[in-house]
Chain A
Amino acid sequence: MISLVIVSHSAKLAAGVHELAAQMAGDQVGISQAGGLSDDGEQLGTDAFRIRSAIEEVWCEDGVLLLMDLGSSVMSAEMALEMLPEQQRQNCLLSNAPLVEGAIVAALHASLGEPLQAVNAVAEAALSTPKLAGTG
């Protein structure tokens, strides 16, 4: 079963998304979070080292899907992957999914035991899922 890592500039946002995703997945799916800066979670920002630690916390052979908010989250997540040993890095995937919808969908599908690429595909499809009835 794959694991999820939630990356956000805000520790509170990361914790909130984690909470929502965990509700979908029960306690079967490993979910970790990296929000805010190292020394003070109240400061907004992303830190590649914190992201690496979050990956290591839930890393498993089935894979780890990273869901990010915006801007430098992506750059920091890329750096974090580069810091990992090759054998760990190849089981990690950066998702293009929107953070909230993506994390919830990914948690649900991960809990069903779907493989990494399949979970990412449904999470990314959340980008084009209309939020309002009768649109899209």
Chain B
Amino acid sequence: MAQEITTKQLRKWLLVYAARIIENEDHLTKLDTAIGDADHGVNMRRGMGKLQERLQVERQSEDISAFLRSVAMTLISGVGGAAGPLYGTFFLRAATSPTNGSSIDLPQLTQMFRYGLDGLQQRGKAQADDKTMIDTIQPAVEAMEAAVAAHQSAAVVLAAARQAAHLGMKHTIEIEARKGRASYLGPHSIGHQDPGATSAYFLFETAAEVLTITGAD
């Protein structure tokens, strides 16, 4: 269990995440047009553009906490809409989780996501089944915690997170929105996938792709 994840890998992860969001801008816009104010795609693309710029500039930062804080600051002022403070809080809180300086082991990575999730819940005051990004992130974090407790490898832990996140995202199709702009629609929100849950899913999809590769550039 000596698998350590470095700041460099986290940077790579978020670069891949930013690119994935930008590729999916139209998809996110379409989802948000159905049940929201159609701005999630545009807001996230703008935020991810800022994030890419920041990640290019901040190549030297080694300390994980400082790196995550910098990501958070970029998202808070770069995204707009509810996603700005929410993703900002996620990374801001993640930055307060314990690290080994410039690397984290798998339990610490899991804890980092847990801190982020707890922060997110405090900020947005959403619970599971409210049809929000919590419906993706909470089951993913729980799956990671279970896999880590069973001493699984990084690949297995992150695959479990990705799968749980995917199920959670799809589950938002079946439920009624109780938070955010979509909640104004009441039962009419049923049948549509939540855009925030979708952008949050890509966090775990890209983590599973990038963070399992030891020594990724």
Contacts from A to B (Cβ < 8 Å) = 37-38, 43-50, 71-72, 75-76, 78-79
Question: Which residues of chain B are within 8 angstroms of A37 by Cβ–Cβ distance?
Answer: 77, 80
The 14 listed contacts between A and B (C-beta, < 8 Å) are: A44-B39, A44-B81, A45-B80, A45-B81, A45-B84, A46-B80, A48-B85, A48-B88, A50-B77, A72-B81, A72-B82, A72-B84, A75-B124, A78-B85
Contacts A45-B43, A79-B89 given: A71-B77 contact, CB under 8 Å? no
- Residues of B within 8 A of A (CB-CB), count: 19
B86 in contact (CB, < 8 A):
yes
Report the minimum CB–CB distance from B22 to chain A (whole Å).
17
Say yes or no: B80 contacts A79, CB within 8 Å. Answer: no
CA–CA, A38 and B46, complex, Å:
12
- Identity of the chain A residue whose Cβ is nearest the Cβ of B43 in the assembled complex: A45
B191 in contact (CB, < 8 A):
no
Say yes or no: A48 contacts B80, CB within 8 Å. Answer: no
Contacts A71-B181, A78-B123 given: A49-B84 contact, CB under 8 Å? no
Interface majority SS (helix, strand, loop, mixed), chain B:
helix
Contacts from B to A (Cβ < 8 Å) = 39, 43, 46, 73, 76-77, 79-82, 84-86, 88-89, 123-124, 180-181
Question: Which residues of chain B are within 8 angstroms of A50 by Cβ–Cβ distance?
Answer: 77
Question: Which residues of chain B are within 8 angstroms of A71 by Cβ–Cβ distance?
Answer: 82, 180-181
Question: Which residues of chain B are within 8 angstroms of A47 by Cβ–Cβ distance?
Answer: 76-77, 80, 84
CA–CA, A78 and B123, complex, Å:
8
CA–CA, A85 and B216, complex, Å:
39
CA–CA, A75 and B89, complex, Å:
10
Say yes or no: A49 contacts B180, CB within 8 Å. Answer: no
Say yes or no: B180 contacts A46, CB within 8 Å. Answer: no
- Identity of the chain A residue whose Cβ is nearest the Cβ of B80 in the assembled complex: A45
Question: Which residues of chain A are within 8 angstroms of B123 by Cβ–Cβ distance?
Answer: 75, 78-79
Report the minimum CB–CB distance from A97 to chain B (whole Å).
19
Say yes or no: A75 contacts B86, CB within 8 Å. Answer: yes
- Identity of the chain A residue whose Cβ is nearest the Cβ of B42 in the assembled complex: A43
Question: Which residues of chain B are within 8 angstroms of A49 by Cβ–Cβ distance?
Answer: 73, 76-77
Report the minimum CB–CB distance from A65 to chain B (whole Å).
20
CA–CA, A47 and B78, complex, Å:
8
- One of A38, A44, A76 near B85 (C-beta < 8 A): A76
Question: Which residues of chain A are within 8 angstroms of B79 by Cβ–Cβ distance?
Answer: 45
- Identity of the chain B residue whose Cβ is nearest the Cβ of A77 in the assembled complex: B85
Say yes or no: A79 contacts B76, CB within 8 Å. Answer: yes
CA–CA, A44 and B37, complex, Å:
11
CA–CA, A115 and B80, complex, Å:
33
CA–CA, A109 and B73, complex, Å:
36
CA–CA, A49 and B77, complex, Å:
7
CA–CA, A72 and B124, complex, Å:
9
Question: Which residues of chain A are within 8 angstroms of B81 by Cβ–Cβ distance?
Answer: 44-45, 72
Apart from A75-B123, A79-B123, 11 more pairs, CB < 8 Å: A45-B81, A45-B84, A46-B80, A47-B76, A47-B77, A48-B85, A71-B82, A72-B82, A75-B82, A75-B86, A76-B76
CA–CA, A36 and B72, complex, Å:
19
CA–CA, A49 and B85, complex, Å:
11
Question: Which residues of chain B are within 8 angstroms of A79 by Cβ–Cβ distance?
Answer: 76, 85, 88-89, 123
